[in-house]
């Protein structure tokens, strides 16, 4: 079975951000580092405030995520994360 794809939405309007409720999500900071991150139990919705991450799915191409990106890391994704610039993001986990 193919791994689910990372979804990236760029240049969100203020209305779209309000619709998603991003301002009320938790904030996560991470220094420059590399680590494995598998989404076995739930999906994660993220909105990047600062920094840069390169996320490489186990069987896929690297995806570079930058400030202003709204990203869905789907349930079932297995990936390596390389934080290349100190990261700050809003995030919300969902059971879907």
Residue 1 has a pLDDT of: 62
Q: What is the pTM of this model?
A: 0.93
Q: Is residue 40 part of a domain?
A: yes
35, 67 contact by CB (below 8 A): no
Q: Is residue 57 part of a domain?
A: yes
Question: What percentage of the chain carries pLDDT values higher than 70?
Answer: 98
Q: pLDDT per position in the chain (96 positions), as tens?
A: 677 899 999 999 999 999 999 999 999 999 999 999 999 999 999 999 999 999 999 989 999 999 999 999 999 999 999 999 999 999 999 986
89, 46 contact by CB (below 8 A): yes
* For the chain, counts of helices (H) and of strands (E): 1, 7
Number of domains in the chain: 1
Q: Is residue 87 part of a domain?
A: yes
Q: Is residue 1 part of a domain?
A: no
Q: Is residue 66 part of a domain?
A: yes
Domain extent at residue 24:
7-94
CATH code at position 37: 2.60.120.10
**Tokens 């990106």 correspond to what residue?**
69
88, 28 contact by CB (below 8 A): yes
Q: Is residue 84 part of a domain?
A: yes
């Amino acid at each position: 079975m193919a791994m689910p794809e990372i979804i990236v939405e760029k240049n969100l309007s203020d209305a779209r951000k309000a619709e998603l409720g991003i301002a009320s999500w938790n904030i996560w900071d991470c220094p420059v580092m590399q680590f494995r991150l598998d989404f076995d139990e739930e999906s994660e919705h993220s909105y990047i405030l600062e920094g840069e991450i390169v996320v490489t799915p186990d069987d896929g191409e690297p995806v570079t995520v930058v400030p202003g990106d709204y990203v869905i890391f789907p349930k079932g994704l297995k990936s390596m994360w390389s934080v290349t610039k100190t990261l700050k993001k809003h995030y919300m986990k969902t059971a879907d």
